[in-house]
Amino acid sequence: MLDALNYIKAARALSVPAGLEVSQSGTGAHAWIFFTGPVPAETARRLGTGLLREAMALRGQMSLASYDRLFPSQDTLPAGGVGNLIAAPLHGKARRDGATVFLNPATMEPHDDQWAHLSSLGRMTPREVATAANRAGRVVVGAAVERVEAAGSTKTQPQLPSVMHARLGAGIRLEQSELTPAFLATLKHAASMKNPLFYERHRLRLSSWDVPQFLRSEVLDPGCPVQIVTSGPLAQRPAQQSARIPSRAVRELSPWPSRSLANGRRSGPWPR
């Protein structure tokens, strides 16, 4: 639910009208954007992914798996396919139970008249969609990440602490509580890479269902929920990204050999 709310906030910042629908389970939510006419799937996806990237800068705990829950789910129609199947809102029994209905973000309660709300919700022209997609920008991962992407849809800009702690072993372990949402989201993207299989299937116009768009090496450690673990071959990228941040907080972030992991923490300059 919080992920969807931040997506709505990101959309509003770009003047993109979006409706908030509570999911059939009643515990999640979907964001809907309506168009006045046909829009190329590639353009719609660029808008959706750009808004997701902004939402992640607002809420750093959002998973990059959110990119895989976007409709349309691919740029072209799969060979012999009929497109993407999606559950429509206002579904019979679920609606009677208060699910699959559109919510008022101010109260988080269903609109009294669902049809009146939908009729008042703005729809975007294809030109407006293209303009908003260009403004939202493209999502970059791995070596293409060169700076922290601060959220542009809020005036609240949390600052990094004066000292941050890191542990370097098989990967980099950072205290999640010490990271700002934008910094956490940036590290997640820096520790990821494009999935060749996803783009190969797109090129061949094959279904990409259940194929992640990005390969992620960050893990939220279930044993220590206040930490983020970055492991694998991309582990060095977040370290390089951190070293580029012009702040005392990151310059004092320090790795040390894995044998020191049980001996506590220390701080010092990040090697360049």
- Per-residue pLDDT for 198 more than 90? yes
pTM attached to this predicted model: 0.84
Distance CA 272, CA 269 (A): 9
- Per-residue pLDDT for 226 more than 70? no
How crowded is residue 177: how many other Cβ atoms within 10 Å of its Cβ?
A: 9
What pLDDT is attached to residue 218? 79
Q: Each residue of 46-95: pLDDT tens digit?
A: 999 999 999 999 999 999 999 999 999 888 887 777 778 888 999 989 99
Which of 205-209, 211-215, 248-252 comes out lowest in average pLDDT?
A: 248-252
Mean pLDDT for the chain? 84
What pLDDT is attached to residue 47? 98
193 φ, ψ (degrees, to nearest 5): -150, 160
Highest averaged pLDDT of the listed ranges 153-167, 210-224, 231-245: 153-167
How crowded is residue 232: how many other Cβ atoms within 10 Å of its Cβ?
A: 15
Q: Where are the beta strands (DSSP E) in 79-231?
A: 102-104, 109-110, 166-168, 171-175, 192-194, 214-216, 218-220, 227-231
Q: Which of 60, 21, 16 is nearest to 158 (CA)?
A: 60
Do the Cβ atoms of 250 and 267 come closer than 8 Å? no
